[in-house]
Amino acid sequence: MTGDLRRAVGIDLGGTYIKAALVDGSGNIEHQERCPTGVEGGVDGVATRVAGLVHALASARGIDLTDVAGVGIGVPGVTTSEGTVVLAPNLNWRQVPFKRVLAERLGTRVELDNDANVAALGEARIGAGGGCDSLVLLTLGTGIGGGIILGGRALHGSSFAAGEVGHICVLPDGPRCACGLRGCLEALASGPAMVRLVQDRLSAGTPSVLVDGDGLTPEAICSAAASGDGLGQAAVDHVAEYLGIAIANIIALLSPEVIALGGGISAAGDVLLKPILSAAESRSLEGMFEHTRILAATLGNNAGSIGAALLVL
Ligand SMILES: [Zn+2]
């Protein structure tokens, strides 16, 4: 098969699974594979598994590694411009020069970045941004992650860790965040924060269709709100209020073309998006808010692997 350098391999390296995709120049996934990360195998074990996936992708499509532009990889941690993973708690890694390790193992071009930056790149070029120049991605889940794309590239800042949207302070002296600071967006508007609020109100006797237990998820709370449940709506409004504050701050600072909301809760749609929009608009300067489109992210679980491939495309 003739080589096409307008395709690349994107790797989404997570604490549980490694996902690999062969992606063409338009961001379409031609083929994908995944396997358990095997964190206990250490850096060498993970590198072997990543290399195995890359070779499996190539042979599934009948191509050679010299036929692709390279391998991009997103990692869940703090990275450097040289491709060293400074700290990745989910992998138990500190100071791992993984770009070099992988490039030596594969003999091909490798680029590496933080997973949130990589997902933001995917959403900007291919997903919700549709090729826009500037986008901020907020990933709403167990935590709140963020990535900033300006001029079509990830903004890393002087620490190379820029984009920590989850740790913007939105409530002075607010609840303690997992990072140790108080009043971070993540401590007030993440999935667990939303569930905790409902649990507290339920145990105080607030009537609701929601019941405490395994089924009490952010998704269940959003759907209760959509069907008119007062407590569900109160929890949605609480989260939307703090997300709105953060989004208004982002607009004031960067005025991006697009702010995309990803992660599980973002699938809730208008029930969450509408109160977020109104909270953000009420705090934005005149003449700024209408220049930023606030949208649900569109690449879902593929944002990581597609965005990683774009690092070399
Ligand atoms: Zn924090």
Tens digits of per-residue pLDDT, 159-205?
999 999 999 999 999 999 999 999 999 999 999 999 999 999 999 99
Binned at pLDDT 50, 70 and 90, residue 5 comes out as low
- Which pLDDT value is given to residue 2? 46
- Which pLDDT value is given to residue 6? 87
Residues, CB within 5 angstroms of ligand 1 (ion): 167, 177, 179, 181, 184
DSSP state of 175: P
Binned at pLDDT 50, 70 and 90, residue 1 comes out as very low
pTM recorded for the entire structure: 0.93
Binned at pLDDT 50, 70 and 90, residue 266 comes out as confident
Range with the lowest mean pLDDT among 100-109, 245-254, 260-269, 293-302?
260-269
The SS3 assignment for 241 reads helix
DSSP state of 126: T
> What's the 116 CA to ligand 1 centre distance in angstroms?
16
> What's the 253 CA to ligand 1 centre distance in angstroms?
20
> What's the 270 CA to ligand 1 centre distance in angstroms?
27
Q: Over 70: is that where the pLDDT of 4 sits?
A: no
Q: What percentage of the chain has pLDDT greater than the value 70?
A: 98
Q: How many CA atoms lie within 13 A of 190 on its CB side?
A: 21
> What's the 168 CA to ligand 1 centre distance in angstroms?
7
> What's the 238 CA to ligand 1 centre distance in angstroms?
18
Binned at pLDDT 50, 70 and 90, residue 216 comes out as very high
DSSP string covering 80-125: -TTS-EEEEGGGTEEEE-HHHHHHHHHTS-EEEEEHHHHHHHHHHH
Amino acid letter, 256 = P
DSSP state of 284: S
- Which pLDDT value is given to residue 24? 95
Tens digits of per-residue pLDDT, 230-244?
999 999 999 999 999
> What's the 249 CA to ligand 1 centre distance in angstroms?
16
Q: Check: CB of residue 116 under 8 Å from CB of residue 147.
A: yes
The SS3 assignment for 194 reads helix
- Which pLDDT value is given to residue 16? 94
Binned at pLDDT 50, 70 and 90, residue 261 comes out as very high
Kind of pairing between the strands at 153-154 and 135-140: unpaired
> What's the 142 CA to ligand 1 centre distance in angstroms?
13
